[in-house]
Structures are given as C-alpha cells and as structure tokens.
Amino acid sequence: MLAPIAVFAFNRPDLLRQTLDALAGNALAKHSSVTIFCDGPRHEQEEPATRAVRAVARHTQGFAALEVVERPHNLGCAASIIDGLMCMFTKHERLIVIEDDILCSPYTLSFLNEGLERYQDSPTVWNIAAWSPPPAIFIVPEGYPYDVYAVPRFNCWGWASWRDRVLSVDWHAADFSAFAGNPWLHRAFNAGGADLTPLLFGQMGGKLNTWDILMDYARFRQGRIGINPVRAYTHNLGMGCGTHTTRRTGRFDTNIAAALPPSSDFRWLEHIFVDQDILSAYSEALCPAHHAGDTQHPAQARLQGIRAARRAIVEKMARLNIPPERICLLTGLDQEEVRLMLIELRREGRQH
C-alpha cells in the first residue's frame, strides 16, 4: 500500500503551486492520497496570502484523494507541523511529508515508498530522506557501491517515516536538562553536523520555533539513523523566504534531474552501516569547517578545521545569547579559548 502524503503550507501560494505540480508529476501521485495543512495568518496583512494558499490547495489535481485542513488561527511553524504529524500518524502507519517549498523529482514518491517498505522492520532506521547535498559540496568516495547512505541526522526536505518512530518523539524534550550539562552528549549529537547542539539549545531556549531539531534529538536519543539518497530527489525552492531559511544561498541547490528511478538494479543498503568517509563529507557539506583551496600541510589544515568548527559552534551559541561560562560548560572548551573566539567575532561584527 502506498503511503499517504502530508503537505504543509502557510503564506507562499506560488511556491505551493510549484510544489504540488511537481508532486503530481510523479507516476504514483494518481494512486496516492494527499492532505494539505494550511496554517492561519499571523496578522491581518497576511490574510490575502493565506487565502491564496487555500485556493491553490483546494484546486489541487492529480491525486487519488485530496483533503485540505484550513487552520482558523496561526499555529506557527512548529505547532502546525507537529499537530499535522500527530493527526496523520494516528490514522496511518506510514507517511510522506513535503513542505510547501520542496520541489520533487518525478521519482520522489517511488523512492520514498520503496524505502518505507524496505526498511520498515529495520529498527535502526528512523526515516527515509529525499534530499542530499549536491555533488559540488558533498563528494561521495569513489567506488562507493550503493545509491543510498546512512547518517546520524534527520533531514526534513522531503521525508518519510513510520508511526512507531514519530509517535515516540517527546516534543518537549523532557530530558533536555540532562543533555544540556553533558558535553559528551553534545559531541555525540553533533556527529551529524556541528549545528545540531546549538539548534537544540536555540529551540529549548525559545530562540527558535521549529520541530525538526526535536525529531533529530529523538532520533539521537534512540540511537537511530536516516537513510539518504546519493543523488537528491528534492530541491528546496524556499531558501531566502522561509521561516528558518531567511538568507538566500545557492550552496544547497540540487539537480533533481540527476536522480535515479529506484528500479530493480537500484542499490539499497542491505546491511545498515554509517560509512565514516561519507559522514565526514556530509558533516563538512552542512557545516563547513574551512574553505576549499587551503594549501597548508594536511595536519595544519586539520587543526585549523577543528578550530573553525569550534568557532562556528561558539558563534551560534553567542547569537542565541548563551553566556560565555555556559558556552564553556556546554562545549567542553576552556574559558580562554571561548573568550578569544568571542573577541574575534566582535571585531568581525558577527557577535554583539
């Protein structure tokens, strides 16, 4: 049985139209049901945009069944998606989730549905992701014999999962205080990218209003991984105009035309493992430690890269107004190193 699809929308009718048109272009769309969750306006000025979104949603075609959920009031990014996920997973064992700025390849639904079927009974797999960093910044080792890879990170730019995984999420992260004071856990969580711990602190400190970092934290606490494609099946259209992607960048732009149809010779992981070279490349792609083109000795470049990664973490925590002494406690860095990094950031105008 094909997984139903949940689409989450807010105030971007043009992006939603592109997202739904691309999704409907999948061969499996006409056999799939779709539910579109439309959040309400935050204020009067947003009402025309949210009305336009609902009109686009109601006129959606190309699917076996359509349901539109129109929120009477604004729930906000996190609450809207969490509520929609809980609603869908109470009725369905599996779900595919697409947000209103995710452009899908014609093979996205085939890939996600097959991944759901293949890994349902694999307890270490948390989700199937449709996105992967582009080859320009993510170099898969030569000779890698699979079309997917496993990483300790949840990616939300088009994904699918199962009821038992998502309903196990503690959306309040009740054990956060134990995590907060343990730098060993911070380093372990950051295996999937140096930004994960700062993002979690931002969420728990009220600086962010998101949901995906709580999904990732639940994945981490349960010791699970995500399955990603070597070639991305989705492209994010919303960089620069989203709730949490406010700065335009082409760094993560993907060529979904290069995505492979998951045919009989598609190479899935038969044994779930995290390849350390791929993990290093993936983490570097998401949170680059240093710029390409360095000419230092490899050992020197590595030391510089390690310091750059630490500095990036300090910068993110400082932007969240976490005090220096707390940064030392959370990162395990000594007080003098943090002090010097903060001075550098102030001189560069990157920390106030």
Tokens of 188: 């372990």
Based on the domain organization, do 148 and 238 belong to the same domain? yes
Which of 271, 288, 305 is where one domain is finished? 288
d(CA 327, CA 313): 9
Using DSSP's 3-state secondary structure scheme, residue 197 falls into helix
Based on the domain organization, do 189 and 172 belong to the same domain? yes
Which of 254, 288, 322 is where one domain is finished? 288
How confident is the chain (352 residues) per 10-residue block, as mean pLDDT? 96 97 97 98 95 98 98 94 97 98 97 98 97 95 96 97 98 94 92 92 89 97 98 88 53 91 92 96 81 37 57 84 85 79 80 52
Q: What pLDDT, in 10s, does the model give residues 148-164?
A: 999 999 999 999 999 99
Based on the domain organization, do 137 and 156 belong to the same domain? yes
What's the pLDDT at 306? 57
d(CA 19, CA 328): 43
Whether residue 310 contacts residue 341, with contact meaning beta carbons closer than 8 Å, is answered with yes
Based on the domain organization, do 182 and 201 belong to the same domain? yes
Based on the domain organization, do 283 and 311 belong to the same domain? no
What's the pLDDT at 264? 85
Based on the domain organization, do 130 and 209 belong to the same domain? yes
CATH number of the domain at 215, please.
3.90.550.10
Closest CA to 215 of 157, 156, 175, 285: 156
Strands 125-129 and 225-229, how do they pair? parallel
pTM score above 0.75:
yes
The dihedral formed by the CA atoms of 270, 130, 279 and 223, expressed in degrees to the nearest 10: -70
What's the pLDDT at 300? 38
Q: Which residue has the tokens 């209103």?
A: 100
Based on the domain organization, do 347 and 266 belong to the same domain? no
Based on the domain organization, do 193 and 326 belong to the same domain? no
Q: What pLDDT, in 10s, does the model give residues 233-254?
A: 999 998 655 454 445 568 899 9
Based on the domain organization, do 202 and 339 belong to the same domain? no
d(CA 203, CA 200): 5
d(CA 232, CA 100): 17
Whether residue 206 contacts residue 227, with contact meaning beta carbons closer than 8 Å, is answered with no
What DSSP element (H or E) covers 111? helix 108-119
What's the pLDDT at 310? 75
* ∠ Cα 161 30 57 (to 5°): 80
Strands 159-162 and 125-129, how do they pair? antiparallel
d(CA 1, CA 95): 11
Measured between alpha carbons, how far is residue 305 from residues 280, 294, 324 in Å? 12, 10, 22
Q: Residue 171's domain spans which residues?
A: 5-288
If one counts the domains in the chain, the total is 2
